[in-house]
Amino acid sequence: MNLLSIEGLGISFGGIKAVNNVSFGVKPGEIVSVIGPNGAGKTTLFNMISGVYLPGAGKVILNGEDVTAMSPHLLARRGMCRTFQNLQVFQSMTVLENTIAGYHLQESGSVLADILNLPSSRRRAKAAEAGARDLLRRVGLERAAEREAGSLSYGSLKRLEIARAMALNPKVLLLDEPAAGCNAVETEEIDHLIAEIAASGVAILLVEHDMKLVMRISNHIVVLDHGEKIAEGDPASVSQNPAVIAAYLGAENAAG
């Protein structure tokens, strides 16, 4: 049973079909990667699934419910969370506060209780902080907890974003190029982290350029080219697929 189902999703920008009729599913504990050459429509697809863009056609089904074009904060309530290719952290807040922000849905209560600093508000904040410190330990950022997020290295920020997403305790996690701009060591750390999250039963959808990472950790790969799905399957079969090779190397090379 798929936790996340993409059914015939499509969108056009100014008459050009950026994504056309793409369908696939992600099961709990599974890592599905979307790959394809630059401009294939991967991030556009991601933005449609996560409610940033309004799809022109098709449906997004989350846990049996139609969540097409639902606002991101409502998707978060239903257990879907994402990270961003171009990093979206709260720069002027500390690393700890950034992670606590991920607990917003569990932590937030009435504003009045917050203003009056009532015991209920303090209890919620304390629980969120304890959870956040635990997560920072898991992603290896516990020593940076009190630092301003803006002062962290690129690789650390990537891990911070994943920690913040994990704080939501999501059922489905969308990772947009989690290893982009990271060095080999950082990539390996993120690799372990993703595998660990999947092992806990989270359905993971991944867009990634680093082919070695994709081949290593994916259960299933969906290949896009010019907005269309040209192949899908396990890493071994996809890497042998002539259409995929052609898309990556260029049609002429494949023919010759």
Per the CB < 8 A criterion, the answer to whether 124 and 104 are in contact is no
Residue 16 or 115 having the CB closest to other proteins:
115
Helix (H, G, I), strand (E, B) or coil at 60: strand
Distance of closest approach, residue 65 Cβ to other proteins, in angstroms:
16
- Please, what is the Cα angle at 40 between 75 and 59, to 5 degrees? 35
Of 244, 222, 215, 214, the closest CA to residue 42 belongs to: 222
Site for other proteins in 194-253 (CB under 8 A): none
Binding to other proteins by residue 54, rule CB under 8 A? Answer: no
Distance of closest approach, residue 219 Cβ to other proteins, in angstroms:
25
The site map against other proteins for 75-94 (x = CB under 8 A) is -xx---xx-x---xxxxxx-
Residue at 75: amino acid letter:
L
Binding to other proteins by residue 73, rule CB under 8 A? Answer: yes
Per the CB < 8 A criterion, the answer to whether 99 and 142 are in contact is no
Sole window of 4-12, 73-81, 136-144, 201-209 interacting with other proteins (rule: CB under 8 A): 73-81
Residue 72 or 250 having the CB closest to other proteins:
72
Per the CB < 8 A criterion, the answer to whether 197 and 205 are in contact is no
The site map against other proteins for 101-120 (x = CB under 8 A) is xx-xx-xxx-x--xxxx---
Binding to other proteins by residue 164, rule CB under 8 A? Answer: yes
Query: For residue 79, is it left (φ>0), alpha (ψ between -120 and 50) or beta?
Result: left
Beta strand 57-62 with 65-66 is antiparallel
Residues interacting with other proteins, by CB under 8 A? 50, 52, 71-73, 76-77, 81-82, 84, 88-93, 97-98, 100-102, 104-105, 107-109, 111, 114-117, 121, 124-125, 128, 164-165, 167-168
